Copies of this chain bind each other. A is one copy, B any other.
């Protein structure tokens, strides 16, 4: 195989209480990575569509960085020529860089006859995250590559666990048209937290994981609450609590900040409920004059996958 084209999904990191450990893959939106295997050791980013702000220089692009990390591990006389179709806005907080990084590792690995394990691909993709945000976190790249809901139990050694996916779980994402830098979002966090608050947080982490396995949607809803990160990061997102209330009042199980924001996610039981929540959020945005984009998405169970279709790119925000 000399060519491949893959789709790589947006992801919601943290999932409320699970700061830095939990992540979930969405069916929409997604990036598409086209890749051609070359017979010289070079990386070439031919084209990026759907976004004007990303660099074609492989050293300054997450895709280039992860491909270089892969090349550094092999001696073969190979290289990669890449086309990136961004379906996920950079800076949206739904794993835009992670999707490109994960997609690139998957595509390259397929062209290299799958010589690397998924765990190794995650480690490569984390290098892209280091470029994008300064931290090589795994809570977006893991679900992007593995699909479903993932738990980063440990970084040293890297230990990623697939969590059961409740059958009727749906997700609504609202991406407000503002920018929050992951590095800024990390800066507002305190180095130390009260033990009592930490206990409440890990009570919820336990409840959320149990809720996923029991398919107990009410338990999932009441376990989402984040006592540590949301209270400070929400300051960076105008009208956050108002939008969260609209989601919950219209039947969402719970809602929170996706990753470092500004996107807001809501979990719902069933697609009908998710559509209702999404409509209510859009209505509210119109009333208060907030611009942004919404998605209703099932859980993406497979993660990055081969993609042959053409697609209509999303309109610019």
> How many copies of the polypeptide does the oligomer hold?
2
Known: A22-B206, A161-B210, A203-B153. A193 touches B195 (CB 8 A): yes
Q: Is the CB of A213 within 8 A of B164?
A: yes
A199 at the interface (CB under 8 A from B): yes
Which residue of chain B has the shortest Cβ distance to A164 in the bound complex? B213
A194 at the interface (CB under 8 A from B): yes
Q: Is the CB of A153 within 8 A of B195?
A: no
A159 at the interface (CB under 8 A from B): yes
Pick the contact of A206: B21, B193, B198 (CB < 8 A).
B21
Q: What B residues does A78 contact at CB under 8 A? A: none
CA distance A228 to B202 in the complex (A): 12
CA distance A219 to B194 in the complex (A): 28
Q: Is the CB of B161 within 8 A of A219?
A: yes
Interface centre among A19, A154, A159, A209 (most CB of B within 10 A): A209
Contact string against B for A residues 180-206, beta-carbon threshold 8 Å, 1 for contact and 0 otherwise: 000000000111111110111111111
A286 at the interface (CB under 8 A from B): no
Interface size class of chain A, counting residues whose CB lies under 8 Å from the partner chain: 35 or more
CA distance A152 to B210 in the complex (A): 12
Known: A198-B201, A200-B154. A18 touches B192 (CB 8 A): no
Q: What B residues does A21 contact at CB under 8 A? A: 199, 202-203, 206
A163 at the interface (CB under 8 A from B): yes
Closest approach, in angstroms, between the C-beta of A231 and any C-beta of chain B? 13
Q: Is the CB of B202 within 8 A of A202?
A: yes
Which residue of chain B has the shortest Cβ distance to A229 in the bound complex? B195
Closest approach, in angstroms, between the C-beta of A124 and any C-beta of chain B? 21
CA distance A92 to B152 in the complex (A): 35
A207 at the interface (CB under 8 A from B): yes
Q: What B residues does A195 contact at CB under 8 A? A: 189-193, 228
Known: A191-B194, A200-B154. A207 touches B18 (CB 8 A): no
A20 at the interface (CB under 8 A from B): yes
A151 at the interface (CB under 8 A from B): yes
A260 at the interface (CB under 8 A from B): no
Q: Is the CB of B19 within 8 A of A152?
A: no
A239 at the interface (CB under 8 A from B): no
Q: Identify 25 residue pairs between A and B in the complex whose beta-carbon atoms are under 8 Å apart, listed by A's number.
A: A19-B202, A20-B199, A20-B203, A21-B206, A153-B203, A153-B207, A153-B219, A153-B223, A154-B203, A159-B207, A161-B206, A161-B210, A164-B213, A191-B194, A192-B193, A192-B195, A193-B194, A198-B198, A198-B201, A198-B202, A201-B202, A202-B202, A205-B205, A205-B209, A209-B210
